Structure 1
Amino acid sequence: MLKSFKKALERYIEATNSHDFNNVKEIVHPEAVYWFTDKTCTTIEEIGAYFNHAWDLIKDEVYSVTNVQWLTVDETAATCIYTYHYEGYYNGKFISGSGRATNIFTIVNNEWKLIHEHLSS
């Protein structure tokens, strides 16, 4: 179980790139808190609405991560920081950008779930 925390991040990125919040929701803790640059989301419904709005705004978005550093890992929690990258089409024009992220995963029913994400541009 302890070694699978890295897979949790990989699954999260894959789910994000599916552009289907039902896939993302499988990895998100029911009490997750997300801090985006412009909004704090404290319910699954708010988080889902934020994701769906972003996918509507940036068409064909591809989200990726680099420079992942795992700061703490034990039997019940794992924290990582990384640089996130996105690219896609905004109003028909190709755009790309990046920022910083912190993710905290915790174990629920023997599965890693994302309980906190903090993104900043």
Structure 2
Amino acid sequence: MELNHVGIINKNEEQALKFYVDFLGLKKTREILLPSELSQQLFSVDKEIKVLVVEGEGIKIEVFVSDFQPENPNFTHFAIMVDSLSNLTGKAKQFDANVIIGKYKDKTVYFLKDFSGNLIEVKQKP
């Protein structure tokens, strides 16, 4: 078994593209308009929803552009592996992307928040 894709919600298409394409460097490969009938059947949301598909090496994300947001606290996240944590955190400052650094004893954990508040854990490739 392997992971096919991750689906997330973003409030704003322009901000989603800025974060996932411009900042993370993924490529927008598709744009889908999910009909309200299908949206109702799958997600109990009776409205048409735009879905942006962004991809990179080993990663595929379906970004649902909608003003709906899960309740807090929200622990939902996905994790990405990067070549350089320091390069990514430096680049985050240029994009005003929120970097969260958690430290406990000898462990440090890095998360990003996209512009809609979705959490992305970031790990350094070995």
Sort the TM-score into its range (normalised by shorter chain).
under 0.3
The higher radius of gyration belongs to 2
TM-score, normalization by structure 2: 0.26
